[in-house]
A = this chain, B = another copy of it.
């Protein structure tokens, strides 16, 4: 990562970026309890961008949960973006690359803050994910709508699926220069084929670096890539192997994976770092989604960076637990008598404990919803230990946010299924 502290690293030379991804606006919007959660977290992210006085916001895709967001979702999103990202704050990022190329779908084919009719304080840059990819009549992404409304700078959209050319947006602030590469979501299998056939090209402004030679001092770039693909190995051709990315990169912001692994991890083979911010709202009650949610404050000085983890304060408490019932057979006496009732009692106690545990996640933020998400996964081999999970869940009717599905029975199989 390198050290970004030093005399010359004043505000004029450090590019400061609020990094977030997978906001899934509109997720469960009709749910009376959880309907606002996605918007609440997104608003907090925008507030953080304002309070941290960042130069820009970088989103990693899946801004919306639905390819065609409801009017409610679009409306709320546009309202939030107008409230927090418009204003008099001067934007000190200079775009050095060809804007017509980078923003060819935009109304003025330029970055929004250079539109003389819009007063943008914090520009938002976003690629699309698999949830907001272009679809339907006109092949538009919901990000096209936000772009046309002047609210978002939508980039990284490939136009030719037989050959992906990634030309970075070149951005300068004082002494720092960033090459921002975006690769909007592509079906993993297709991308795997393109990678294999060497048909994914990065139009690097400083190719020399990739050959191991150092570029001129004034040609130093910080190479930042944002992608939205499977990162975890979900079978061959079903993920984007980190190792297939070029070594000249300094940092990859990885969207799509919802568990927060925001702390940059070095790829030993290629030398770049990967940060996976994770979603800002859980869209499944899985173990990964129960991890504490963060966004990142990325500071770039020349070719060095620092990523400060900012814990989100408005995310609904969520406690996940998983029990392998066969491991507890003796302890619970499942082999004699009424196994179902025994597991029921055990689960009830466990859920009580989880609800208590959820309180530790209360942040005191006035907008944090307090009713927790609770998910107890019971891995079983013998069906005799099962009970009616809906009736079970209803015992906690007023004390959990997910009344329908507090307990999930899951058949224990050898290869643990990735949730």
Residues of A within 8 A of B (CB): 29-30, 68, 70-72, 74-75, 78-79, 82-83, 86-88, 107, 116-120, 136-138, 140, 142, 144-145, 148-151
Contacts and interface: CB of A to CB of B under 8 A. Distances in A.
B86 A144 contact: no
A410 to B, nearest CB: 32
A41 to B, nearest CB: 19
B137 A87 contact: no
A136 B75 contact: no
A83 to B, nearest CB: 7
Given A82-B107, A86-B117, 4 more contacts: A71-B142, A75-B144, A75-B145, A78-B149
19 contacts: A29-B137, A68-B71, A70-B137, A70-B138, A71-B145, A72-B136, A72-B138, A75-B140, A75-B145, A78-B145, A78-B149, A79-B148, A82-B117, A82-B150, A87-B117, A116-B119, A117-B118, A117-B120, A149-B150
A49 to B, nearest CB: 16
A107 B84 CA distance: 11
A272 B207 CA distance: 74
A120 B117 CA distance: 7
A138 B72 CA distance: 6
Given A117-B118, A137-B30, A140-B75, A148 B82 contact: yes
A88 B117 CA distance: 8
A150 B149 CA distance: 8
A80 to B, nearest CB: 10
Nearest to A70: B137
Contacts of A75: 138, 140, 144-145, 148
Contacts of A136: 70-72
Contacts of A145: 71, 74-75, 78
Contact of A71 (B78, B118, B138): B138
Contacts of A83: 107
Contact of A149 (B88, B140, B149): B149
A142 to B, nearest CB: 7
Nearest to A136: B71
A38 to B, nearest CB: 14
A140 B76 CA distance: 11
Contacts of A87: 117
Contacts of A70: 136-138
Contacts of A119: 116-119
Nearest to A140: B71
A72 B68 CA distance: 11
A389 to B, nearest CB: 28
Contacts of A137: 29-30, 70-72
Contacts of A88: 116
Contacts of A150: 82, 149
